[in-house]
């Protein structure tokens, strides 16, 4: 095993920058439950302004931001339409059923978005049996499809087509979508009633996510965050890093996107025959189908590259700020030269 490892497991592995650590040490703080943490208040105002919403809320994680959004928008026993591979459906421990008592109406999102005709079918189902669709959720960028971006025109049509049903955008990597498409985050989120973003992923902050929406929605979400035990006290020490993340770490995401393309080319060359459903990544995630993901993950590890499967036949490589050119060159060679590995039956 190599001591040197290139970590492509996720952009969540990124460590806070020196500027973040300084800001954290110097942060002005207060008890956030009383609305007295000036740094948390500043971060929430900054995010709300960036995404063009009235208000925002700082939460400990992206999962909690999604769960709070779902609890706030819905009533128990109602249905939430979402792509079957989305984080809210497939990666949140069944949380929506437990935390909000909702059921999912699953749509095919294998290419990163879902067909609006499918959503229309879900809506018209309401006419035939007692089925109340309380929310539509989308993920932008869409992680399991390889960080794909919702096409803006399609997003606009979606916003029209949901009508009075609220639309929540899991924008854990919203800034990746913005940097790659050249469209502002406010424009991307304009049709969504609520949007959440993680500062703890590619933007490099150690902890935290933000949820934005109307002032009324955020007041209700603040209450629901409390119900889940997510209220925080002198949270300015974390919010300070989030402010640095939103103010200084966005533009450099373009570098991660270029590096993902390099790794994608290596994957295409090495696994051309076995890797299916493969496309040049739009952002920082290379995701591809492979019949032996566990063996592949082990083989990559022995070659000095850490990468995790995200499903029984789905492999993922993620680029981020804590990689440099030498790491990418190393991973590129390791993938291209990966020896044949045993097949696990
Ligand atoms: N995703 C993690 C894992 O849970 C898969 C990762 O390494 O990518 N929405 C999306 C689209 C996400 O990818 C994630 C995290 C979340 C929400 C949840 O964020 P956290 O981990 O902060 O709770």
The position carrying tokens 């049509």 is: 157
CA of 93 to the centre of ligand 1 (A): 12
Does 341 fall in a domain? no
Tell whether ligand 1 has an atom less than 6 A from the beta carbon of residue 284: no
Does 58 fall in a domain? yes
pLDDT above 80: residue 129: no
Specify the pairing of strand 308-311 against strand 103-107.
Answer: unpaired
Chosen domain end from 248, 266, 291: 248
Same domain, 221 and 273: no
244-271: average pLDDT: 96
Same domain, 290 and 309: yes
**Number of domains composing the chain:** 2
198-219: average pLDDT: 98
Does 214 fall in a domain? yes
CA of 337 to the centre of ligand 1 (A): 30
- Closest ligand 1 atom to Cα of 11: 7
pLDDT above 60: residue 38: yes
Tell whether ligand 1 has an atom less than 6 A from the beta carbon of residue 65: no
Give the closest residue to 218 by CA, choosing from 13, 56, 329, 91.
Answer: 56
**Residue 97 DSSP class:** I
Tell whether ligand 1 has an atom less than 6 A from the beta carbon of residue 12: yes
Same domain, 290 and 163: no
Same domain, 208 and 310: no
The pLDDT of residue 203: 98
Domain that holds residue 72: 18-248
Same domain, 165 and 115: yes
Going by alpha carbons, the residue nearest to atom 6 of ligand 1 is 10
What percent of the chain shows pLDDT beyond 90?
Answer: 90
Tell whether ligand 1 has an atom less than 6 A from the beta carbon of residue 244: no
The pLDDT of residue 345: 43
Helix pair angle (236-248, 38-51), 10° resolution: 30
Does 39 fall in a domain? yes
Residue 79 · residue 133 · CB < 8 Å: yes
Residue 221 · residue 1 · CB < 8 Å: no
CATH of the domain at 189: 3.40.640.10
The pLDDT of residue 265: 93
- Closest ligand 1 atom to Cα of 208: 22
Does 342 fall in a domain? no
Does 110 fall in a domain? yes
Report pLDDT digits (tens) over 299-342: 999 999 999 999 999 999 999 999 999 999 999 999 999 988 76
Q: Which of 96-105, 236-245, 271-280 has the lowest mean pLDDT?
A: 271-280
Task: Return d(Cα 226, Cα 231) in angstroms, integer.
Answer: 5
Does 344 fall in a domain? no
Tell whether ligand 1 has an atom less than 6 A from the beta carbon of residue 177: no
Task: Return d(Cα 142, Cα 113) in angstroms, integer.
Answer: 8
Chosen domain end from 248, 282, 302: 248
Same domain, 194 and 301: no
Task: Return d(Cα 80, Cα 77) in angstroms, integer.
Answer: 10
Same domain, 256 and 235: no
Task: Return d(Cα 177, Cα 332) in angstroms, integer.
Answer: 24
Does 343 fall in a domain? no
Helix (H) or strand (E) segment spanning residue 55? strand 55-59
**Residue 276 DSSP class:** B
Structure tokens given for 27: 């942060």
- The total number of residues shown for the chain amounts to 345
The pLDDT of residue 342: 66
Going by alpha carbons, the residue nearest to atom 21 of ligand 1 is 62
CATH of the domain at 293: 3.90.1150.10
Chosen domain end from 223, 248, 273: 248
Same domain, 144 and 28: yes
- Which one of 13, 59, 63 would you pick to mutate in the ligand 1 pocket, going by the greatest count of ligand atoms within 8 A of its CB? 63
Give the closest residue to 102 by CA, choosing from 60, 165, 52.
Answer: 165
Same domain, 312 and 199: no
- Closest ligand 1 atom to Cα of 141: 11
Residue 220 · residue 54 · CB < 8 Å: no
Residue 202 · residue 178 · CB < 8 Å: no
Same domain, 256 and 223: no
Name the pLDDT band for 173 (thresholds 50, 70, 90): very high
Same domain, 158 and 199: yes
The position carrying tokens 């208040």 is: 41
Q: Taking the complete model, does pTM exceed 0.85, yes or no?
A: yes
Same domain, 280 and 176: no
């Amino acid at each position: 095993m190599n001591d040197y490892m290139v970590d492509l497991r996720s952009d969540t592995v990124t460590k806070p920058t020196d500027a973040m650590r300084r800001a954290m040490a110097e942060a002005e703080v207060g008890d956030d439950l009383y609305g007295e943490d000036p740094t948390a208040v500043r971060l929430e105002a900054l995010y709300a302004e960036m995404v063009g919403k009235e208000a925002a809320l700082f939460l400990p994680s992206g999962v909690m931001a999604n769960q709070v959004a779902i609890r706030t928008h819905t009533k128990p026993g109602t249905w939430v339409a979402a792509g079957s591979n989305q984080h809210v459906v497939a990666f949140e421990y069944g949380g929506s059923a437990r935390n909000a008592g909702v059921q999912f109406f699953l749509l095919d999102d294998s290419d990163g978005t879902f067909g609006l005709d499918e959503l229309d079918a879900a809506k018209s189902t309401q006419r035939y049996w007692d089925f109340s669709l309380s929310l539509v959720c989308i993920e932008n960028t869409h992680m399991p499809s390889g960080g794909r971006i919702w096409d803006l025109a399609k997003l606009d049509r979606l916003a029209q087509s949901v009508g009075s049903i609220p639309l929540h955008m899991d924008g854990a990597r919203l800034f990746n979508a913005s940097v790659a498409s050249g469209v502002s985050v406010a424009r991307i989120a304009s049709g969504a009633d609520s949007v959440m973003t993680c500062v703890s992923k590619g933007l490099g902050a150690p902890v935290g996510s933000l949820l934005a929406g109307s002032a009324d929605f955020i007041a209700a979400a603040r209450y629901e965050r409390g119900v889940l035990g997510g209220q925080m006290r002198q949270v300015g020490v974390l919010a300070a890093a989030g402010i640095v993340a939103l103010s200084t770490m966005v533009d450099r995401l373009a570098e991660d996107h270029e590096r993902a393309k390099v790794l994608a080319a290596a994957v295409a060359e090495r696994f051309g025959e076995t890797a299916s459903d493969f496309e040049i990544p739009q952002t920082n995630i290379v995701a591809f189908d492979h019949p032996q993901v566990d063996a592949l993950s082990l083989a990559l590890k022995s070659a000095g590259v850490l990468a995790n499967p995200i499903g029984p036949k789905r492999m993922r490589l993620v680029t981020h700020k804590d990689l440099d050119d030498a790491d990418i060159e190393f991973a590129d060679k390791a993938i291209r030269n990966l020896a044949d590995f045993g097949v696990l039956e």
